[in-house]
């Protein structure tokens, strides 16, 4: 990624988020697989905008959006862009500010650069390994995140999980080492870790898609956060599916060890 490429995707992601915000009032809403899985006209409009612009800029790369009619079962190039036009569609519909636009670049099945734009406060989070993790508010200079301290393995941790994941694993609410933190978009959950208001983002149900994680994982790796699963020290981006059929853990250094120590046995027992 050149500097100009990074600036291009920064501006594109922000353009998409501002467009979504302008469309929200009275936006058309449809059901995908049921009442708990909704999509809006803005999701489709942003998808078209992002896919078209990335294809024009990077014609030799594979572009995959959540809102594609068909998701290819195999990755046809070493460079793949994964797009979640509106991550947190329910939050977007409710207008609670907890939604974002996410773009991630995966190279040779590894997340290398990501963007998460939060229109509610006009802040974009971006970065990747070797580049750092940054945030930039509109019209302000970018700020680089400082490395986070290691997680104390004997202390409780502020764990941020999705509503459906918490519902599927009710035991986490009573866990003596878990202090639950709420949030919407996955990108904004990871941003809370970077900002210091949470320690770990955990997903236990094994239902996340690669466009849910590519952008946030790359930004997290830019600040040397732990990114992996309850079993593995890396988060795999498989070539033959868009599903992470695993847990997902992203957090302060030491989060993988902490999660395995306190969460793994009960999480595996719940399945």
> What tens digit of pLDDT does each residue of 165-178 get?
999 999 999 999 99
**Model confidence at 270: pLDDT above 60:** no
Pick from 182, 15, 228: nearest CA to 101:
15
Query: What is the pLDDT, as a whole number, of residue 68?
Result: 77
Q: Which band of pLDDT confidence, cut at 50, 70 and 90, is reported for residue 131? A: very high
The predicted pLDDT at position 29 comes to 76
Complete domains list, the chain, with CATH:
3-144 (3.30.540.10), 157-269 (3.40.190.80)
Cα gap 214→66, rounded to integer Å: 12
Reduced 3-state DSSP string for 180-214: EECCCCHHHHHHHHHHCCCCEEEECCCCCEHHHHH
Section 199-213 average pLDDT: 95
Neighbours of 216 (CB within 10 A): 33
In angstroms, rounded to a whole number, what is the distance separating the alpha carbons of residues 41 and 207?
24
Residue carrying structure tokens 């033959």: 240
- Tell me the percentage of the chain whose pLDDT exceeds 90: 74
For the stretch 45-98, pLDDT in tens is 999 999 999 999 999 999 999 887 666 645 556 899 999 999 988 888 888 999
- Per-residue confidence (pLDDT) for residue 159, from 0 to 100: 98
Q: 146 vs 38, 153, 208, CA distance in Å?
A: 37, 21, 28
Greater confidence (36 vs 251) lies with 251
Please tell me which residue, 44 or 225, carries the higher pLDDT value. 225
- What average pLDDT does this structure show over 231-249? 92
Average pLDDT value for residue range 3-17 = 97
Taking CA 237 as the corner, what is the angle to CA 161 and CA 51, rounded to the nearest 5 degrees? Answer: 90
Q: Output the pLDDT for position 240.
A: 84
Given a cut of 90, whether residue 228 has pLDDT beyond it is yes
Query: How far apart are the C-alpha atoms of 15 and 7, rounded to whole Å?
Result: 12
Prediction pTM value: 0.93
């Amino acid at each position: 990624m050149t500097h100009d490429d990074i600036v291009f995707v920064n501006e594109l992601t922000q353009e998409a988020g501002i467009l979504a915000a302008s469309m929200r009032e009275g936006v058309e809403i449809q059901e995908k697989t049921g009442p708990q899985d909704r999509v809006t006209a803005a999701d489709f409009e942003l998808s078209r905008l992002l896919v078209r612009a990335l294809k024009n800029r990077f014609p030799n790369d594979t572009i995959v959006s959540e809102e594609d009619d068909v998701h290819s079962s195999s990755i046809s190039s070493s460079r793949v862009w994964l797009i979640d036009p509106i991550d947190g569609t329910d939050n977007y519909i409710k207008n609670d500010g907890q939604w974002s636009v996410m773009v991630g670049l995966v190279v040779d099945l590894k997340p290398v650069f990501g963007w998460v734009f939060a229109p509610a406060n006009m802040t974009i989070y971006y970065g990747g390994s070797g580049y750092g993790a940054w945030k930039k508010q509109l019209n302000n200079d970018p700020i680089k995140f400082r490395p986070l301290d290691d997680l104390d393995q004997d202390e409780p941790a502020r764990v941020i999980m999705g509503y459906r994941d918490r519902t599927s694993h009710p035991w986490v609410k009573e866990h003596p080492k878990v202090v639950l933190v709420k949030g919407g978009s996955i990108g904004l959950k990871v941003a809370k870790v970077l900002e210091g208001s949470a320690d770990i983002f955990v997903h236990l149900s094994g239902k996340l898609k690669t466009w849910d994680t590519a952008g946030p994982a790359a930004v997290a790796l830019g600040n040397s956060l732990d990114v992996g699963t309850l079993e593995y020290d890396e988060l795999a981006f498989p070539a033959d599916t868009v599903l992470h059929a695993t847990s997902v853990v992203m957090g302060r250094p030491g989060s993988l060890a902490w999660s395995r120590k306190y969460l793994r046995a009960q999480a595996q027992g719940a399945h």
